[in-house]
Amino acid sequence: MKEKTIDYVLRATWMAVSKMYNEEAGKAGSTMATGFALLSIDPEKGTPSTSLGPKMGMEATSLSRILKSMEEKGLILRKKNPNDGRSVLLHLTDFGKEMREFSKGVVLKFDEAVKENVSEEDLKTFIRVANSITGLISNKKIYNQEISLK
């Protein structure tokens, strides 16, 4: 395979972005996953813990470890949901809100740098292609038949 596959380009790009975000987060004693969680929690109303996993595209077990670490670092508080006593709302502490702003700044700086170096037309094309790929996957238009390994 002389030509790079679409999968390879996507993976290599995401790995580079992920590494960059982790390096920046590390400067503040954090991680990319923590920053992503901070950005996914509503800073005013809080967010139900059950909706955070799907919002972030994470499995519950991975998210549980991140939330436990965030709680230990004083970034979040878990409070009973006043509308549903069975569920828990995640709220940012003042420190959590501060770190959320840091994370937001990192993301916005990345966006700004890309927009300064990639034409608007190329960015629109990139977003259109990425949305098409996501649609193919979510609509099961790539691997839609059951495969038996028997």
pLDDT digits 0-9 by tens, 63-88: 999 999 999 999 999 999 888 878 89
pLDDT digits 0-9 by tens, 10-61: 999 999 999 999 999 999 999 999 999 999 999 999 999 889 988 888 888 8
Question: Looking at residue 85, what is its pLDDT?
Answer: 78
Q: Domain map of the chain by residue range?
A: 6-139
What pTM was computed for the model? 0.84
pLDDT surpasses 80 at 133: yes
pLDDT digits 0-9 by tens, 110-124: 999 999 999 999 999
pLDDT surpasses 80 at 109: yes
List helix spans (H) across 27-119: 32-40, 49-56, 60-72, 94-117
Residue 143, SS3 per DSSP = coil
Question: Looking at residue 68, what is its pLDDT?
Answer: 95
Nearest-angstrom CA–CA distance, 145 and 112 = 41
CATH code, residues 6-139: 1.10.10.10
pLDDT surpasses 70 at 1: no
Is the separation of the CB atoms in 77 and 61 below 8 Å?
no
